[in-house]
Each structure stands twice: as C-alpha cells, then as structure tokens.
Amino acid sequence: MSDGGGFARLPSAAPLRDRDVAEPMAILRERGQREVFCGLTGIVWLHRKIQDAFFLVVGSRTCAHLIQSAAGVMVFAEPRFATAIMEERDLAGLADANEELDRIVERLLARRPDIKLLFLVGSCPSEVIKLDLSRAAARLSARHSPGVRVLNYSGSGIETTFTQGEDACLASLVPEAPVSEEVAQDLLVVGALPDIVEDQFQRLFAKMGLERVSFFPPRRSGAIPAIGPNTRFLLAQPFLTDTARALEARGATRLSAQFPFGAEGAAHWFSAAAKAFGISQERFDEAIGPARARAERALAPLRAELQGKSIFFFPDSQLEPCLARFLSQELGMRPLEVGTPYLNQELLAPDLLALPKQTRLSEGQDVDRQLDRCRAQKPDLVVCGLGLANPLEREGMATKWSIELVFSPVHGFDCAADLANLFARPLRRRAGLKV
Ligand code: SF4
C-alpha cells in the first residue's frame, strides 16, 4: 500500500562556485513499501572502530543471524558483538527480561575484562515489547562503573535504514564527552572512518597548520574528545543528523561543506575547515595541492570510462546524493534518479546544489513504482540494496550494492579512484559478459 508521492521544493541557497544550480530542485516524496537493511548493520563497522567497545544486541534469532552473516566473515579475533536472544517467554511477558539482561551482562563482563564501553542495542522485538534499554543502561552503568560504561541506542528496522544505526550510536556517545571549557578552537571530524583514512586526514590537517583535530568516535572509549562552544565540527558522513543535533546542543558549530568524496568533494570539505580556522589560501593550496592533483590524475582514466553513462540510485545508505554529486561533477556520469531514504537538505545542501538540474531526487520509497521508473529509463548502472540487485541483474541491468560503499574506504583524495572504480567495475563486468 502506498499513499503515493508528492513533490516538494528544496529551499534556495547560495550556488557553488562552478555550477549553474540557482533553480530549486523538485523532490519526489514516496511512502510505500521499502527494501532496506536495519540499523544493526552499523555494528559491522562500528565494532572495528571503537576497539574497547562491545555491542550487545537485545533481539531475536533473526537479529542474531543478520549480524552473524553480515559480520561473521570479517571476524578474525573474538568478536566484539553478540545477541542476547529474546525467547518466546520474554516476548510473551512471562519472564523478567531485565533480570535476564542483567545476568547476561554480568557474565559477559566477567569473561571479557577488555570491554570498557558496552552498548545495549535495541531491535524491533525489544521495541515491540517496550523493553526500556535506557533504564537498563543506566542501572548497569551504575553497577559496573567506573570500569565499564553502559550506553544504549536503537538499531531497529522499524521506519529506519541501516546507516541510522551509526547515527544513533554516535548520538548516544555525545553526552559521554567531557565538556570543553577551552577558548582555543578545536576541529572535530565526525563519523566512523577507517583508521587509514583518518590518518590521511590527520596528516593533511597538520600540513594546513591545524593540530587541534580529533575524531569522533575515537578509537578507544577513554579518548572521547572534549566538546563545547569552541568545537567546530565537520561531518564525514551525511547520515549523522541526530549526532549533529546533539553536538550543536553542546554548543559546537557545524561547518557546511560537500562531503569528502572525490577530489573536488574532499577539497571543498578541507576548505571549509581552512576558512573557519583562518588558514590562508596559499597555505591551503600548498597543503592540499599535491594530494588533490594525485587524485585528479587517478580519476582521469576513470572519467574517460564513465563519462556519459547513466546511473539510477535506489534509496539505501543515505550517501546517494553526495555520491551522485561526485559521479556527475567529477566523472561526467548522468544521475537519472537519486533516491535516498531520508533527505536532510541542510546537511546536504552543498552536494544537492551541485547535482545536474535534470536529476530526479526522491526521498523514501515505493519500491514497485521506483522499479517501474528504473526499467523505463534503462540506466547503464543501478545502485541498490542486495534484495534488488539480483533480480535487476537477471533483467540485464548492471548493479552496484550500496552497502559496499559503506564498508569500503571511500573518503578523501587517496580513495577517490577506488571509489570511482567501485562504479566502473560492474560496468566492465557486464561489458565482458556481452562479448
Ligand atoms: S532489528 Fe528488526 S529488522 Fe533488524 S534483524 Fe532484528 S528484527 Fe530484523
């Protein structure tokens, strides 16, 4: 069932330097059947990022299977996630779920003294029976502090998409940050990035003359940076709406920029920091120039390959608008439709303004209608979730799994060509099949 779609207008904002984008863009809003993963998926990359954290999903066997199959192949050491499985007795209210949860946490912490931060992660079943995990987290934190902090967030798939798991997790971490009373300005980079990307960013900021730079989430839970009115923050991911709100409530200021995908996107992102911290154009160019030139050289052959190819995004990761900006602005691809589960126009304004005027922007999903539009437009490449990829491949379309874009290092200058290659590869594979 669907309530159909409606068009809305993007509020006008100052156009970016080199695009003729003064016209507001129409947005198709749909609220029908959707095909997306749930927020538990974020645990797959978050448990590798915060190295002394543990994620305990309070959910069903389905939740356990999802996490196990999504993350299982990547586990080389003892995993830092598990599921406290709710049985029928819990769901029927015949057992005291809180008592059982306390027992499980007790056992877990006794067996794993390396855990310093424990996330209780809510799921659809825990939300349906209204198990109050925030009270459970407060109770368990009081019992196990100061050695272990216990926080909670929701990874449920009820009306959410999979990247919201990271947003909810990081938003729950903000109150744990010490309050900064410093006057000197700090820069905070927000969003879970692979360590290798973080190190590259740190080096470039240092070359620009910025030393007071921290990353959120930190690699260890004891190193959460202090946050306050002196904090300027740059989002590294476009899906961190709640986290941004929590940081702003702490007095921090968000720096608006294109997201750091591709050479131009990364340059735009770094330049937002340069402007906010009064770095001269000369110093900025000196610091960023070589990495930017390297990225542009690496992208040149991919531009020749991808130029003019059409692409259709189904909503999944919330990265879609900034990836479409990268592919059109830097590689000459033609985004026909850019679907995204939720559209935060404020966070994404610089990327949205750089999209081609003829691109259809859609928010939410009515999967059957969207499939009809996709088939009618016959794009060269479709970016979609796993559930749609196989049927569309069978119909002869080249597809890219959107979830891979969240698992792979794709940010910044050094990953620009790798990111472009993720889109070029399915086209090469399909061209190879036709020979
Ligand atoms: S949280 Fe909900 S959508 Fe996710 S695996 Fe569990 S039951 Fe399924």
pLDDT in tens, 224-235: 999 999 999 999
* Number of C-beta neighbours around residue 128 at 10 A: 13
Residue 434: pLDDT band with limits 50, 70, 90: low
pLDDT of 291 higher than 80: yes
The residue assigned the tokens 């798939």 is: 157
Mean predicted lDDT score pLDDT of the chain: 90
- For residue range 212-226, what is the model confidence (pLDDT) as tens digits? 999 999 999 999 999
**Quick one: pLDDT at residue 87?**
76
- Index of the ligand 1 atom closest to the CA of residue 66: 5
Q: What is the pTM of this model?
A: 0.91
**Nearest CA owner, ligand 1 atom 2:** 124
pLDDT of 8 higher than 70: no
Q: Are strands 213-216 and 186-190 parallel, antiparallel or unpaired?
A: parallel
pLDDT of 12 higher than 90: no
**Average pLDDT of the residues in 12-27:** 48
11 CA to centre of own chain:
24
* Number of C-beta neighbours around residue 407 at 10 A: 14
Residue 172: pLDDT band with limits 50, 70, 90: very high
Domains (ranges, CATH) in the chain? 5-36+294-434 (3.40.50.1980), 39-160 (3.40.50.1980), 186-287 (3.40.50.1980)
CB neighbour list of residue 213: distance below 8 Å, 6 or more residues apart: 186, 187, 188, 189, 201, 202, 205, 206
Check: CB of residue 289 under 8 Å from CB of residue 267: no
- Index of the ligand 1 atom closest to the CA of residue 65: 5
Q: By percentage, how much of the chain surpasses pLDDT 70?
A: 91
CB neighbour list of residue 406: distance below 8 Å, 6 or more residues apart: 45, 162, 163, 317, 319
Looking at residue 38, its amino acid is C
**Quick one: pLDDT at residue 310?**
98
CB neighbour list of residue 195: distance below 8 Å, 6 or more residues apart: 219
Phi–psi pair at 280, nearest 5 degrees: -70, 155
8: left (phi over 0), alpha (psi -120 to 50) or beta: beta
Structure tokens at 370: 């969207």
Strand partners, 361: 27, 338
- Of the chain, the end-to-end C-alpha distance in Å amounts to 42
3-state secondary structure of 408: coil
Q: Which residue has the higher pLDDT, 207 or 402?
A: 207
**285 CA to middle of ligand 1, Å?**
47
**Average pLDDT of the residues in 302-306:** 97
**Quick one: pLDDT at residue 68?**
82
* Number of C-beta neighbours around residue 74 at 10 A: 12
Run of H or E residues at 221: none
Q: By percentage, how much of the chain surpasses pLDDT 90?
A: 75
pLDDT of 22 higher than 70: no
Rounded to 5 degrees, what angle do the CA atoms 362, 169, 230 make?
Answer: 95
Distances (CA, A) of 142 to 99, 118, 150, 421: 15, 13, 9, 49
**Nearest CA owner, ligand 1 atom 6:** 63
Residue 257: pLDDT band with limits 50, 70, 90: very high
Give per-residue burial for 257-288: e unless 16+ CB within 10 Å, then b.
bbbbbbbbbbbbbbbbbbebbebeeeebeebb
DSSP state of 175: G
pLDDT of 138 higher than 90: yes
- Index of the ligand 1 atom closest to the CA of residue 157: 3
**Quick one: pLDDT at residue 17?**
38
Rounded to 5 degrees, what angle do the CA atoms 418, 317, 433 make?
Answer: 55
Check: CB of residue 190 under 8 Å from CB of residue 234: yes
**311 CA to middle of ligand 1, Å?**
30
Q: Ligand 1, residues 62, 81, 91, 154: which to mutate, most atoms within 8 A of Cβ? A: 62
**Average pLDDT of the residues in 340-364:** 95
Ligand 1 neighbours (beta carbon < 6 A): 38, 40, 59-60, 62-63, 66, 123-124, 155-157
How far is residue 341's CA from residue 343's CA, in Å, rounded to a whole number? 7
Residue 37: pLDDT band with limits 50, 70, 90: confident
